Every structure is written in C-alpha cells, then in structure tokens.
Amino acid sequence: MLANLFKKKNKAVLGVDISSTSIKIIELVEQNGRMQVEAYASEPLPENSVVEQAINDEEAVGGAIKKAVQRSHSSVKRASVAVAGSAVITKVIQMATGLSDDELEQQIALEADQYIPYPLEEVALDFEVQDVLEEDNHRVNVLLAACRKETVELREDSIEIAGLESTVVDVEAFCIERAYQLLESQLDAEPKDTVAIIDIGATMTTLNVLHEGKIIYTREQMFGGQQLSEEIQRRYGISAQEANRAKIEGGLPDDYETEILEPFKDSVVQQVSRSLQFFYSSSQFNDVDYVILAGGTSSLEGISQLVQDKIGTHAIIANPFASMTLGPKVNPQTLANDAPGLLVACGLAMRSFD
C-alpha cells in the first residue's frame, strides 16, 4: 500500500528532479559537520517526454537520468524522486495515540475511501504521525498522502531504466519545505515568519507559502521560461535549441532586450504578484515577510529587484548551496548558475540525512 513518501532512510540517496524540460541530480554528503555537494549534473529531456509534469516516455526519461548520473560521476545507486503537488492529495486526520505503524496502516486502509476520490486499488498511500492534539492528548494528527499509482510507478520505472534503485517517492512541496532550512539563514529582514517561495520553471510556476517553516499553501499555474524561448524562436526564426542557448549565452539582435526580454520580465513580476494575491484571497494572511524566487527563470538579471519594487517585500534569489562546501567532482560555476532551479533536487538529496 505504501509509497514511501515519508519513511526514513539512513543511506546516501541521489536526489533526482524530473522537470518538464530536464533532469537534475544532486548527491549531498556530510563533511566536517557541514553539508557538501558531492556530485551534480543536469541533462535536457527529449521534447514531449514529460508534459505538464506527467511522464509520457519513461524510456526517454530513464535515458536522460542515466546520462546525468554518468556526467556527475556519482557512484550512488539509490535514488529519491518527487511527484508534483498537484498530483497528490494530502489530508490531516486524527487517530488514537499509541497505535503501531501496522495498526495505523490497517486503520487508514479502512477509512481512506472517505478522503480519496479514486478507487483505492489505483492509489498509493502513505502517512506520517505528527503532533498530539492540544485539546485531546489521546489523539494525534496523522498526515495522509495519496497519489495515483500510475504517477508513482512511471517515476520508479524511469529510475530503474537508468540503472538506479528507487527508494523514496516524495512530494515536491515537502522537498521545498526541507530545502528551506538551507535558505532561512540568508533572510536578513525581520520578521520572517511567513515566507513565499515562488519557483518559476520552464513551463510551471509554483507558489509555496511557509509559515514558521511549514508549508501552508501551494498553488501551481502554467507559466514559465519556455514562453521567453518561444518568443525568441518566433521573432528571430531560430530553433528551440538555439533559442535556449541564446537566452544563456547571448548573441541575439540589439532589439532583444527592449522588445522581448523586458516585456517578459514584466510578465514574470505580474505572475508573482497574481500568485500572491490568490494566496491572500484564500487565507487569513494579507502579506508575507519575504519572497524567495526559485527556478531557472529567476536567474534573469534584476528580476528580484523588480519583484521587490512591485510588491514592496524583500525578495532574493534562492541559493541552497550558499553555506555548503563543494566536492572535487562539482563545477562551481555550473552549480552557481543552476542553483535557483535546484530546490527540489536538493530537498530530495537531503533524504540522505533523515
């Protein structure tokens, strides 16, 4: 029944982030009391192998994972992978204290159909016991997570095709929450009780709001850096590959910044503002103390200042590796360039320390 969404592991695992356009893998170790990035690599995915966070071609995805592992020179064979928050149903339920994991599992299996709108034979379930209820110390909160088995199995199959062992299937929001521990020390404003992490990827923008270090709100919307690439393609008549390369390396005509890049940055700021407004309208909060921009699109020059000016809240670009050392196999410049897009992979790799 269980999908190992929460179960603790005590051996090194590779964090394998499967996004819509690329594979990113990270291996973290502990070195002299500090975390160290032991291995890192990314590999582009063949077009349409992942569409809207759903794997269409596990052979292509597995092949890309294998290439990334080879490029990283990591020898770790155990892997952790995540499913998107939109693919997971989470529910906090109350159960009696003192039950063993087996007893909890049996009880949840009996009651799960109350909470899951799918046939249970199609669903992977897991749970984590949390805190005792303040008003009733004979009951505990239990976090239940459920996902379609097919979604989990496609990720596990891709991992196995790459020659790795799939040991953990996590949830992207939980990975962000775990990686936030590495970002909190970079926030210099007070207070910072409520923090918005806005991950602007290639095709999807995800808002996660944390209150006192715990995720309280998640929302996904279709928007990302691929729209900039597509506009470059249309304007200059070049291929997708050439457009993606030009975004990073430059060499586009003189009108690129004023005609394409600046309007796209304005769109990014609007999307960030809109995401936060959705949060405010559906919660008791009317502001956040800090905004952390993540995802590859957040690397655009000056974007954090534009966001800060627009919403009036401190904004920084995520770098989960700011306090880490780097192993000899890691290219510092490549890692620094890619750091904002590596929160999920980093959160997955941190399962090594659970």
DSSP state letters, 154-207: HHHHHHHHTT-EEEEEEEHHHHHHHHHHHHGGG--SS--SEEEEEEE-SSEEEE
Rounded Cα distance between 173 and 16, Å, is 15
Whole-model pTM: value is 0.89
Band of the pLDDT at 1, cuts 50, 70, 90? very low
pLDDT, residue 5, reads 53
CB-based contact 65:162 (threshold 8 Å): yes
DSSP symbols for 89-101: EEEEEEEETT--H
pLDDT at 19 over 70: yes
Residue 218's H or E segment, with its range, is strand 214-222
Q: Quick one: what percent of the chain has pLDDT higher than 90? A: 67
Q: Measure the CA–CA gap between 232 and 245, rounded to whole angstroms.
A: 11
pLDDT surpasses 90 at 306 = yes
Answer yes or no: is pLDDT of 208 > 90. Answer: yes
Mean pLDDT of the residues in the chain: 91
β 139-148/123-132 pair status: antiparallel
The CB density around residue 53, as the number of other CB atoms within 10 Å, is: 20
Read off the DSSP letter of residue 260: I
Residue 241 backbone class (left: φ over 0; alpha: ψ -120 to 50; beta: rest): alpha
Please tell me the predicted confidence (pLDDT) of residue 4.
Answer: 55
3-state secondary structure of 72: helix
- Reduced to 3 states (helix: H, G, I; strand: E, B; else coil), residue 227 is helix
Of 103-117, 186-200, 214-228, 248-262, least confident by mean pLDDT is 103-117
pLDDT at 9 over 70: no
Buried b (16+ CB within 10 A) or exposed e, 143-168: bbbbbbbebbbbbbbbbebbebebbb
Among residues 49, 90, 81, the alpha carbon closest in space to that of 152 is found at 81
Residue 295 has pLDDT above 90, yes or no: yes
In sequence order, which residues have a C-beta less than 8 Å from that of residue 254 and are 6 or more positions away? none
Work out the average pLDDT over 36-46.
Answer: 96
Residue 269 to residue 308: CA distance in whole angstroms:
9
Mean pLDDT value of segment 64-82: 97
pLDDT band at residue 86, thresholds of 50, 70 and 90?
confident
pLDDT at 73: 96
Which residue reads 């892997």 in tokens?
A: 79
What CA–CA distance (Å, rounded) separates 127 from 18?
23
Q: What's the burial of 86, exposed, middle or buried (CB within 10 Å: 0-12/13-18/19+)?
A: middle
